[in-house]
């Protein structure tokens, strides 16, 4: 278990982190979210002991130190591949820094390249690879030593949907093998899809923390997703409906005044007739993120 207690960090007069506490557990994925400058990377750098900080960080009930680094995989937001090295040289270099023997790395490279569908030969220079393939090589460098604590800072950046799915599979495999995983992302769909819990920061302070479903369910279920041929002009006139947002394929998102009025809206809309889709739900994680982010300017 990774435990962060009362983590704080200042740069001069600027408060980067203000009394942050959370726990990340094996076989679990924690999403760290927030706007740019919220404190996500500072949190990662504190865990990795890159910077001095106030508070306590422990892993397996011991303070993180250099003896732990071989068990940690870190993907920084700013890429750090050496462009003049070959693909094989780059992977071997980083893996050896994590304590792997060269021959063990060489024995595994082909399988990892196949797994991430890297378009390139082992003898190709890093600089000849596309941005997406460079990203995948750096992910291999992060994961090949099978770390038990994995920290990924914007790992989906530069990946198309197909390659993003490859990464999600690798993350879930690492989770199922007992790793603690923390990653940041601005894409709330990715966070909602694979995270067990999340921590949202705003200007260095915690504004949301807990299991994803519990956070969503803590908000009123005042949204109704329907598929209907009823025109938008009629939907907005339904009782208790405040706004209507048109989606594709005859789908609409209705926002109502109170979740308890969902049955009344259903009755008024269907009039006892069949309706293909009707789902009353809490706001999506993306909507919650926007809501909480906008509060600072309220």
Domains of the chain in start order, with CATH, are: 2-217 (3.40.50.300), 223-281 (3.30.70)
Tokens of 111: 């399988």
The strand pair at 62-63 and 149-153 is best described as unpaired
d(CA 18, CA 6): 8
**What DSSP letter does each residue of 212-226 carry, written as one string?**
HHHHHHTS---EEEE
CA angle 149, 155, 158 (to 5 degrees): 165
Tokens of 78: 């700013």
| Torsion sign, CA atoms 294, 202, 287, 208 | negative
pTM across the whole model: 0.86
The per-residue pLDDT for 297 is: 54
d(CA 10, CA 217): 34
The per-residue pLDDT for 237 is: 96
d(CA 98, CA 89): 14
Which residues have C-beta within 8 Å of that of residue 89, sequence separation ≥ 6? none
Give SS3 for 159.
Answer: coil
Eight-class DSSP state of 172: H
- Determine contact, residues 26/60, Cβ cutoff 8 Å: no
CA angle 16, 286, 74 (to 5 degrees): 50
d(CA 200, CA 192): 13
The per-residue pLDDT for 104 is: 96
**Tens of pLDDT along the chain (298 residues)?**
999 999 999 999 999 999 999 999 999 999 999 998 899 999 999 999 999 999 999 998 888 877 888 999 999 988 789 999 999 999 999 999 999 999 999 999 999 999 999 998 899 999 999 888 998 999 999 999 999 999 999 998 878 889 899 999 999 999 999 999 999 988 888 898 999 999 999 999 999 999 998 998 899 999 999 999 999 999 999 999 999 999 999 999 999 999 999 999 999 999 989 999 999 999 888 889 888 887 765 4
Sheet holding 72-75, edge to edge: 72-75, 149-153, 180-184, 28-33, 197-202, 205-211
- Pick from 162, 19, 139, 132: which is nearest to 90 by CA? 139
Tokens of 221: 């279920």
């Amino acid at each position: 278990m990774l435990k962060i207690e009362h983590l704080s960090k200042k740069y001069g007069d600027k408060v980067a982190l203000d009394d942050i506490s959370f726990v990340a557990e094996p076989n679990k994925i924690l999403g760290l979210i927030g706007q740019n400058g919220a404190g996500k990377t500072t949190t990662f750098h504190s865990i990795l002991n890159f910077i001095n900080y106030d508070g306590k960080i422990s892993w397996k009930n011991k303070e993180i130190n250099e003896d732990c680094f071989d068990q940690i995989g870190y993907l920084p937001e700013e890429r750090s591949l050496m462009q003049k090295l070959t693909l094989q040289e780059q992977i071997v270099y980083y893996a050896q820094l994590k304590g792997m023997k060269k021959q063990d790395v060489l024995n595994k490279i082909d399988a990892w390249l196949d797994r991430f569908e890297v378009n390139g030969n082992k003898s190709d220079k890093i600089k000849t690879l596309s941005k997406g393939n460079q990203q995948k090589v750096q992910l291999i460098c992060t994961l090949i030593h099978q770390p038990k604590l994995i920290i990924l800072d914007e790992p989906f950046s530069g990946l198309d949907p197909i390659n993003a799915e490859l990464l999600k599979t690798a993350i879930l495999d690492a989770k199922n093998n007992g790793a603690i995983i923390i990653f940041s992302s601005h894409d709330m769909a990715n966070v909602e899809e694979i995270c067990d819990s999340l921590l949202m920061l705003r200007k260095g302070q915690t504004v949301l923390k807990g299991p994803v479903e519990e956070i969503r369910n803590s908000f009123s279920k005042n949204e109704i997703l329907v598929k209907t041929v009823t025109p938008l002009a009629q939907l907005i006139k339904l009782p208790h409906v405040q706004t209507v947002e048109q989606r594709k394929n005859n789908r609409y998102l209705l926002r109502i005044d109170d979740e308890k009025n969902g049955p009344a809206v259903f009755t008024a809309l269907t009039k006892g007739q069949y309706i293909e889709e009707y789902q009353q739900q809490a706001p999506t994680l993306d909507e919650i993120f926007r809501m909480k982010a906008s509060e600072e300017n309220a």
